[in-house]
Structures are given as structure tokens and as C-alpha cells.
């Protein structure tokens, strides 16, 4: 304490504290305290009005884990095991991984293309990637309804293409399928992957490519040994920027998945709106947060994102 008081006598300390305090106030008041409140309510219960009754019990978490204590699971009377929520969690995790992998696969060539384009063109090409991002998230999802629905644009295009070839065509059911949700997710988050990948690809000194070629590496080996490893920080940063929001999103699945594709995000949202069980929703949120943190930490440990942050 005396050390703290002594340090306050230092002018720099005072200035630093003064400058940081508004942001600290915000972060504590609107981030840390809410998180604590969520944690507390996740071990609580609910009253008939949908308010949280504070208490201490893990039954919300047990419910998530499959312990069903009030409704029958098929023929089995309660308490019984019900994998409903575990399936939702697993589905969300799989979808987040699929989205991330697809976004990397689709985004990498473009990021590479922009990073290697003549310096004068790069800003424009980059700008073109960002423009869709500035149209609203909800609007972007809506656009995919128009494209994917049974009588939508894509079926129309395929139909007229097949019509020219005189082939029979039955419109494909694309909307309200897991595939539609995946396409929507890729579309929503693609720019978030391209940007960091571009940044790290662009940073690579072109003399390194020359050095690799000079030492006998053909283009493929230069890519595998130099380009790819040096762009990994960008891929890792992009993965974090994509994986985390995909895990928590509920609009894409809500709109493009109809009621068929339920993800953790939808589960949480329903507890606060329809089901009126905020305590259970809080528990699901905490679980979601822990899951994303585990994946993020594991991922950054493996690929060394910490090093990148430290050097930045």
C-alpha cells in the first residue's frame, strides 16, 4: 500500500492513471461486472416471471450436460439423460471449425493476390474486400435469403442454365439447411480472415522470396517453407477473429437455418426472450465463453500467437 501511495507521487503514474481511468471504468462497469453477474446468475434459478433467483446450485450446468430432471426423455421418465444441449454445443463447435477452415481456404488466395499486387492497386483491392463489411450484418444475411430460397436467384440461374441444355430441373432446397448456414457464416466472416492474412503476407520482405529462390527453392517449396510459415500469425489472428464470433452468432442460423439449425447462440437468445430462463441462459453463456477460451488458448499456444503480440 505504501508502495502504491509512493508511486502515486510520481507525476507519470498520476497521468497514466488519469488517462486510463475512463476506459477502466467502462471495462469494469460494462464488461467485468456483467461477466461476474452472469456467473452468479448461472448458478441461480428462475421465478415464474422469468427473473433470476439468486442461489447456488449447478443444476443449470447439469441440464446442459444432459441431466434432465423434469421432462421425460422419450420413454424414460425423469430424471434421465438427454443429449439435446450437448448436440447443440457439438454442432456449434463443428460449424465454427468448418467455417474457419473454409474461410481460410477461400481467403488465402485473395489475401496473397492483394499482398502481391502492385503497391498502387493494393489499397483499392483491399477496400473492395471491406465494402461488404460496411453493409450491415443483418442485411448481408438477408441477401442470402434472396439467393438461396427455392425460387431464389441461384435456383433461377441453375434452372435457366439447364433449360438451355434442355435438361429437367427441380429447384434445390437450399435455404433452411446447415449448408445455407455455413455459406452465410463464410460470407459474413470472410473479410475478418482476409485482412490479418493480408497484413502478414504484405509484411514479408520480398527479398526473402528471392533468397529462397536463390538457394534453389522452386515456387511451391518457397511457398511451403517461407510464405506459409511467415503468414501464420495472420492466419492465427484471423482464426481468432472468425472462430469466436461464429461460436456466438445466432442471426445467421436463425435466418438462414430457419428453426432447423440451432446453435449455442440461438439457445442462449431463446432463454432470454422466449423461454424466460436467464439463469439457464447465463450458464450456457459461461459454457460458450469457456469453450471459446479453451480453443483460443490451445490454438495460440500451438501456433504461437503470444509471440506475435509480444513483438507487436
Partner 1 sequence: MPQFAVELRDVVKRFPGPSGEEVYAVKHVSLQIHDGEFFSLLGPSGCGKTTSLRMIAGFELPTTGAVMIHDRHMGETPPFQRPVNTVFQNYALFPHMTVGENVAFGLEMKRVPKTDIAPRVTEALRMVRLPGMEKRKPKQLSGGQQQRIALARALINRPEVLLLDEPLGALDLKLRKEMQLELKTLQREVGITFIYVTHDQEEALTMSDRIAVMSGGEVLQVGGAADIYERPNCRFVADFIGETNFLRGTVKEQKGKTTVVEVDGGITVRAESENSLAHGQSVTIAVRPEKIHLRPTSGAANAFAGRVEDLVYIGTDTHYGVRFAGDHRVRVREQNTDSASTPLARVGDEVTVSFAEAAARVLVE
Partner 2 sequence: MSNRRSLWITLASLLVYVFLYAPIVVLVVFAFNSSKTNVIFEGVVNKGPCGPFYWFCVLFKNGEVLSAARNTMTIAIVSTVASTIIGTMAALALQRYAFPAKTFSEVSLYIPIVIPEIVMGIGILVLFSALFRWLNSAFGLQGDDRLALGLGTVIVSHIAFSIPFVALVVRARLHGFDKAIEEAAMDLGADEWVTFWRVTLPIIAPGVLSGGLLAFTLSLDDFVITFFTNGPGSTTLPIYVYGLLRRIITPEVNALSTVWIFTVLAALAISQRVQREA
Segment 17-76, which members bind partner 2 (CB under 8 A)? Answer: 17-20, 22-24, 26-35, 37-38, 41, 51-52
Q: For the segment 187-216, give every residue that binds partner 1 (CB under 8 A).
A: 205, 207-208, 210-216
Query: What CA–CA distance (Å, rounded) separates 178 from 253?
Result: 8
State the cell numbers at 256. 438462414
245 belongs to the binding site for partner 2 (CB under 8 A) = yes
Q: How many residues sit in the footprint of partner 2 (CB under 8 A)?
A: 90
Long-range contacts of 281-284 (CB under 8 A, 24+ apart): 282/38, 282/39, 282/41, 282/42, 282/44, 282/52, 282/60, 283/42, 283/43, 283/60, 283/61, 283/63, 283/64, 284/60, 284/64, 284/85
117 belongs to the binding site for partner 1 (CB under 8 A) = no
- Collapsed DSSP state (helix, strand, coil) of residue 117: coil
282 belongs to the binding site for partner 2 (CB under 8 A) = yes
173 belongs to the binding site for partner 1 (CB under 8 A) = no
- Which position among 53, 76, 86, 146 is part of the footprint of partner 2 (CB under 8 A)? 146
Q: Please choose which of partner 2, partner 1, none residue 261 contacts, taking the beta carbon within 5 to 8 angstroms, the exact cut-off set by kind.
A: none
- Which position among 102, 247, 261, 262 is part of the footprint of partner 2 (CB under 8 A)? 247
Q: Please choose which of partner 2, partner 1, none residue 58 contacts, taking the beta carbon within 5 to 8 angstroms, the exact cut-off set by kind.
A: none
Q: For the segment 62-101, give every residue that binds partner 1 (CB under 8 A).
A: none
Instruction: Label residues 250-281 b or e (16+ Cβ within 10 Å = b).
Output: bbbbbbbbeeebbbbbbbbbbbeeeebbbbbb
Tell me the closest approach of the beta carbon of residue 208 to partner 1, in angstroms.
Answer: 5
Comparison of 68 and 239: residue with beta carbon closer to partner 2: 239
- Which position among 218, 259, 302, 312 is part of the footprint of partner 1 (CB under 8 A)? 218
Q: In this structure, what is the dihedral angle of CA atoms 31, 33, 35, 41, given to the nearest 10 degrees?
A: -150
Q: Please choose which of partner 2, partner 1, none residue 211 contacts, taking the beta carbon within 5 to 8 angstroms, the exact cut-off set by kind.
A: partner 1
Query: What CA–CA distance (Å, rounded) separates 136 from 143?
Result: 11
292 belongs to the binding site for partner 2 (CB under 8 A) = yes
Query: What CA–CA distance (Å, rounded) separates 29 from 22?
Result: 10
Contact residues toward partner 1 (CB under 8 A) are 205, 207-208, 210-218, 221-222, 225-226, 229-230
Amino acid at each position: 500500500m505504501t508502495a502504491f501511495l509512493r508511486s502515486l507521487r510520481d507525476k507519470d503514474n498520476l497521468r497514466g492513471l488519469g488517462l486510463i481511468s475512463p476506459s477502466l471504468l467502462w471495462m469494469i462497469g460494462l464488461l467485468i461486472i456483467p461477466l461476474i453477474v452472469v456467473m452468479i446468475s448461472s448458478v441461480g434459478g428462475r421465478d415464474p416471471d422469468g427473473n433470476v433467483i439468486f442461489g447456488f446450485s449447478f443444476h443449470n450446468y447439469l441440464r446442459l450436460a444432459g441431466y434432465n430432471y423434469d421432462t421425460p426423455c422419450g420413454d424414460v421418465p425423469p430424471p434421465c439423460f438427454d443429449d439435446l444441449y450437448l448436440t447443440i454445443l457439438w454442432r456449434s463447435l463443428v460449424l465454427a471449425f468448418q467455417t474457419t477452415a473454409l474461410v481460410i481456404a477461400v481467403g488465402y488466395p485473395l489475401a496473397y493476390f492483394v499482398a502481391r499486387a502492385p503497391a498502387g492497386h493494393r489499397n483499392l483491392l483491399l477496400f473492395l474486400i471491406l465494402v461488404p463489411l460496411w453493409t450491415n450484418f443483418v442485411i448481408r444475411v438477408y441477401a442470402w435469403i434472396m439467393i438461396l430460397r427455392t425460387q431464389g436467384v441461384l435456383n433461377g440461374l441453375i434452372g435457366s442454365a439447364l433449360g438451355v441444355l434442355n435438361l429437367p430441373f427441380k429447384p434445390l432446397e437450399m435455404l433452411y439447411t446447415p449448408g445455407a448456414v455455413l455459406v452465410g457464416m463464410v460470407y459474413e466472416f470472410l473479410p475478418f480472415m482476409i485482412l490479418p492474412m493480408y497484413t502478414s503476407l504484405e509484411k514479408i520482405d520480398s527479398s526473402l522470396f528471392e533468397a529462397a529462390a536463390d538457394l534453389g527453392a522452386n515456387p511451391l517449396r518457397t511457398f511451403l517453407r517461407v510464405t506459409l510459415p511467415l503468414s501464420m500469425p495472420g492466419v492465427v489472428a484471423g482464426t481468432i477473429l472468425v472462430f469466436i464470433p461464429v461460436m456466438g452468432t445466432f442471426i445467421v442460423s436463425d435466418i438462414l437455418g430457419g428453426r432447423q439449425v440451432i446453435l449455442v447462440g440461438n439457445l442462449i437468445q431463446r432463454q432470454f426472450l422466449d423461454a424466460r430462463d436467464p439463469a439457464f441462459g447465463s450458464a450456457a453463456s459461461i459454457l460458450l465463453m469457456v469453450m471459446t477460451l479453451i480453443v483460443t488458448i490451445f490454438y495460440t499456444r500451438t501456433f504461437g500467437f503470444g509471440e506475435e503480440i509480444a513483438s507487436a
